[in-house]
Amino acid sequence: MNVMICDPISPRGIALFKQRPELKVTVLEKRLTEAELIPLIADVEAMVVRSETKITRKVIENAPKLRVVGRAGVGVDNVDVEAATERGIVVMNTPGGNTISTAELTFSMLMALARHIPQAHGSMKAGEWNRKSFSGTELYNKTLGILGMGRIGAEVAKRAQAFGMSVVAYDPYLSVSRAQALNVETLSLDAIYARSDFITVHMPMTDETKGMINSAAIQKMKRGVRLLNCARGGIIAESDLIEGIRNGQVAGAALDVYEVEPLAKDHPLRALPQVIMTPHLGASTDEAQENVGIEVAEAITDYLLMGGVRNAVNLPSLDAKTYAQVKPYLQLGEKLGLFLAQLAPKQNDRIFITYGGKAQELAVTDPVTRAILKGFLSLSAGKDLNYVNVRAQAAARGLTVEEKRSDEPVTFNEWLHVSVFSGDQKVSAGGTFFGSPNNPRIVRVFSRPVEIHPEGVVLLLNNKDRPGIVGYLGTLFAKHQVNIASMSLSRDTAGGQALSVFQLDTLPPTSLLEDIRKDPDISNVRVVKL
- 402 forms beta bridges with 352
> How far from chain centre, in Å, is Cα 278?
24
CB contact burial 168-182 (16+ within 10 A = b; e otherwise): bbbbebbbeebbeeb
261 is annotated as an active-site residue: yes
Active site residue 22: no
CB-CB contact of 336 with 55 (8 Å): no
244 vs 252: CA distance, rounded Å: 9
Of 86, 261, 361, 408, the active-site residue reads 261
- In three state form, how does the secondary structure of 163-217 look? CCCEEEEECCCCCHHHHHHHCCEECCHHHHHHHCCEEEECCCCCCCCCCCECHHH
Q: Return contacts of 204-207, CB within 8 angstroms, 24+ apart.
A: 204/148, 204/231, 204/232, 204/380, 204/381, 204/382, 204/383, 204/384, 204/385, 205/232, 205/234, 205/235, 205/382, 205/383, 206/379, 206/380, 206/381, 206/382
Query: Which residues, listed in sequence order, are joined to residue 227 by a DSSP beta bridge?
Result: 199, 253
- 455 DSSP 8-state letter: S
* From 202, 232, 370, 441, the catalytic residue: 232
Strand partners for 198: 144, 226
Q: Which residues pair with 252 in a beta bridge?
A: 226
Is 36 a residue of the active site? Answer: no
Q: Which of 67, 87, 115, 280 is catalytic?
A: 280
Report the catalytic residues.
232, 261, 280
